[in-house]
Structure 1
Amino acid sequence: MRSSAPKSRPAFAQEIARIRASYPERFTNRARSLKLALCLGGGALLTGLAMWWLDFSLVRIANGLGRLADFSLMMFPPSTGDRLGLYLQALFETLAIAFLGTLVAALLAFPIAFLAAKNVVPNFFVHFGARRLLDVIRGIDTLIWALLWVSVVGLGPFAGVLAIACSDFGALGKLFSEAIETADRRPVEGVASSGGSRLQQVRFGILPQVVPVIGGQCLYYFESNTRSATIIGIVGAGGIGVHLAEQIRVLNLQDVSFLVLMILAAVTLIDVASSKLRASLIGRRPIPLG
């Protein structure tokens, strides 16, 4: 059976005219198109200005690719230089820094998150002050915290733990408070209707909803902090970053490649384990496409 013939040009033009008449704001909103054009033009102008100000040069990148290839060849084969035990101890120290830093940050952020949640503390000044405190602490990068704590408590992993704890305290506090604010109101209303106090509403109405989410966020930050602990080790905050910076400084690139592979292997294992733990905590599995 033959398909119906396509619409003629006059009929098609009439259909377009009908759509334009039905939705005039979609076709005649020139202000929106002008704003979009201005935004795109402004973005392109800022990008060009930033590239000029920072002396961005594709020629320099092309010239550096040869040196990068030479350094890559010098990194193989990876070697421990008879320091395998020392490197493994430093790797476990990095994992310990990431774990303790995340744990301390989560324990400190948990009570502050309830103060920062509007649905738990209706007082504007309390949750506004708590949110600004989290913003200020979160606004300082982990590396800066590491430099500060190295100056205060000296070199070593203790400074690394404090740096990660301070940085993650602000970030986790914000995430925890948002999870609390987006909790379903129906369980809370059910506890309130049965005569439960405000504390019981939080305990039995909100906590069962947010604890799996908070646990998943903590696992993700532990995985991320494994990489952060490597970076802050370069400034003297302990861990494998100390040895990585030392070997880069003396251009012992075979040891550098071995240390990088160790870090990648550790991050991959933590990623796989934390993904499974997050899935078991939240109770959801990825939905396959198709």
Structure 2
Amino acid sequence: MTIEPISAAEIARARAEHPLVFSVPLAVRLRRAALWAGFMLLMAWCLYDFNFSPLRIWEGLGRLGRVLSFMFPPHIWSEWREVSDILKGLGETLSMAFLGTLLGAVIAFPLSFLGAKNLNRRPFLRFGVRRGFDIIRAFETLILALIFIRAFGLGPLAGVLAIAVAEIGSLAKLYAEAIENTSTKPVDGVIASGGSRTQSIRFAVMPQVLPVLLSITLYNFESNVRSGTILGIVGAGGIGFLLADRIGAYRWGEAWSIIFLIIAMVYLIDALSGLIRARFIGTWEGVR
């Protein structure tokens, strides 16, 4: 049976004979208009409340251009003492990100099983665990760093603890969602062959979810390297402290050189993470 296509003339004739069928209902049009009006009013209020004006933007761009001009040419350190301070700061930032991510992942991994609905069949327990993840994620890493600096003093320890606590909430939620998205067929196969629930998790769930968990952890590690830079500005050690010191002293050439080194470090970590993901995910795919 062949269905003839409808021509444009037939569509135009049907639209002319039954205009209400082809028109958007009045309620839908009013709802759309109300949403757009609310959006425009909210945007206008934000611009007014934030004292937005083209003149202010133009003046700010001029000052920004002058600040950027101070950064060129970038500073090149000639004394080993200065170079060693910069390298030590980069190493502290990298160490904070690594230890904080590792500690957060170690704690978040078992908690994620309690938050996955396909493994935790107790709704009240799962609800409580999930809300706990939300409470932890409500605290920004910078706020946690200020709290830990007050408790443990200045230095990288406060940064490590701040990153670790923040990562517990984020990684546990992401891990739980990854576990929930696994296929149930391998689990059914393990159970049908006489395996226990623990064995079904070990041999059916984990091979599916481990590549995803690795990818999530590596991405968060990259993000934490950038976060570690900000934490140093508030006193948690690392390269951020040196960057804030150079900016506060108006030594813009050195500040630009430090920013360039941070960008290079993040780029290298991103490239290395990509190689690790490709290596391990390819290995797991081959096993599966």
TM over 0.5: yes
For residue 198 of structure 1, report the CA deviation from its aligned partner: 1.2
Q: Distance in 1 between matches of 2:62 and 2:12?
A: 57
Q: Percent identity?
A: 45
- CA gap of 1:186–1:198, structure 2 versus 1, over 3 A, is same
Q: Could you say what the CA RMSD is over the residues aligned between the two structures, in angstroms?
A: 2.2
| Correspondences of 1:179-218 after superposition (within 5 Å) | 179-218=178-217
- CA gap of 1:17–1:170, structure 2 versus 1, over 3 A, is farther
Q: Distance in 2 between matches of 1:253 and 1:198?
A: 60
For residue 283 of structure 1, report the CA deviation from its aligned partner: 3.9
For residue 18 of structure 1, report the CA deviation from its aligned partner: 4.5
Give SS of 1:122's match.
Answer: coil
Paired residue total: 275
For residue 276 of structure 1, report the CA deviation from its aligned partner: 2.6
For residue 275 of structure 1, report the CA deviation from its aligned partner: 2.0
- CA gap of 1:92–1:268, structure 2 versus 1, over 3 A, is same
Amino acid corresponding to residue 55 of structure 2 in structure 1: V
Q: Distance in 2 between matches of 1:200 and 1:21?
A: 66
| Correspondences of 1:130-169 after superposition (within 5 Å) | 130-169=129-168
Greater shift after overlay, 47-56 or 73-82?
73-82
- CA gap of 1:244–1:200, structure 2 versus 1, over 3 A, is same
For residue 245 of structure 1, report the CA deviation from its aligned partner: 0.7
For residue 32 of structure 1, report the CA deviation from its aligned partner: 3.0
CA contact (8 A) 1:94 1:230 kept: yes
Match of 2:68 in 1: 72
Q: Distance in 2 between matches of 1:176 and 1:20?
A: 56
Give SS of 1:205's match.
Answer: helix
For residue 226 of structure 1, report the CA deviation from its aligned partner: 0.6
For residue 200 of structure 1, report the CA deviation from its aligned partner: 1.1
Runs of 4+ in 1 over 6 A off after TM superposition: 19-22
Amino acid corresponding to residue 254 of structure 2 in structure 1: D
CA contact (8 A) 1:98 1:164 kept: yes
Give SS of 2:121's match.
Answer: coil
Q: Distance in 2 between matches of 1:47 and 1:157?
A: 41
Amino acid corresponding to residue 184 of structure 2 in structure 1: R
Q: Distance in 2 between matches of 1:121 and 1:282?
A: 27
Match of 2:115 in 1: 116
| Correspondences of 1:39-78 after superposition (within 5 Å) | 39-78=35-74
| Deviations 1:188-213 (CA, angstroms, capped at 9, x unpaired) | 11111111111111111111111110
Greater shift after overlay, 44-53 or 115-124?
44-53
Q: Distance in 1 between matches of 2:30 and 2:161?
A: 50
Give SS of 2:278's match.
Answer: helix
Q: Distance in 1 between matches of 2:190 and 2:22?
A: 48
CA contact (8 A) 2:136 2:168 kept: yes
Match of 1:287 in 2: none
TM-score, normalization by structure 2:
0.89
Q: Distance in 2 between matches of 1:166 and 1:95?
A: 17
Q: Distance in 1 between matches of 2:213 and 2:168?
A: 13
CA contact (8 A) 2:148 2:158 kept: yes
Q: Does 1:222 align with 2:221?
A: yes
CA contact (8 A) 1:213 1:281 kept: no
- CA gap of 1:75–1:198, structure 2 versus 1, over 3 A, is same
CA contact (8 A) 1:216 1:277 kept: no
Match of 1:101 in 2: 100
For residue 19 of structure 1, report the CA deviation from its aligned partner: 7.6
Q: Distance in 1 between matches of 2:128 and 2:265?
A: 39
Match of 1:87 in 2: 86
Greater shift after overlay, 151-160 or 269-278?
269-278
Q: Distance in 2 between matches of 1:241 and 1:209?
A: 38
Greater shift after overlay, 108-117 or 25-34?
25-34
| Deviations 1:162-193 (CA, angstroms, capped at 9, x unpaired) | 01111111011110000000100100111111
Q: Distance in 2 between matches of 1:20 and 1:102?
A: 64
Give SS of 1:160's match.
Answer: helix
Consecutive unaligned residues of structure 1, counting only runs of 5 or more, are 1-6, 285-290
CA contact (8 A) 1:157 1:239 kept: yes
CA contact (8 A) 1:20 1:27 kept: no
Amino acid corresponding to residue 224 of structure 2 in structure 1: N
Q: Distance in 2 between matches of 1:112 and 1:87?
A: 38
Consecutive unaligned residues of structure 2, counting only runs of 5 or more, are 1-5, 284-288
CA contact (8 A) 1:109 1:173 kept: yes
Match of 1:31 in 2: 27
Give SS of 1:46's match.
Answer: helix
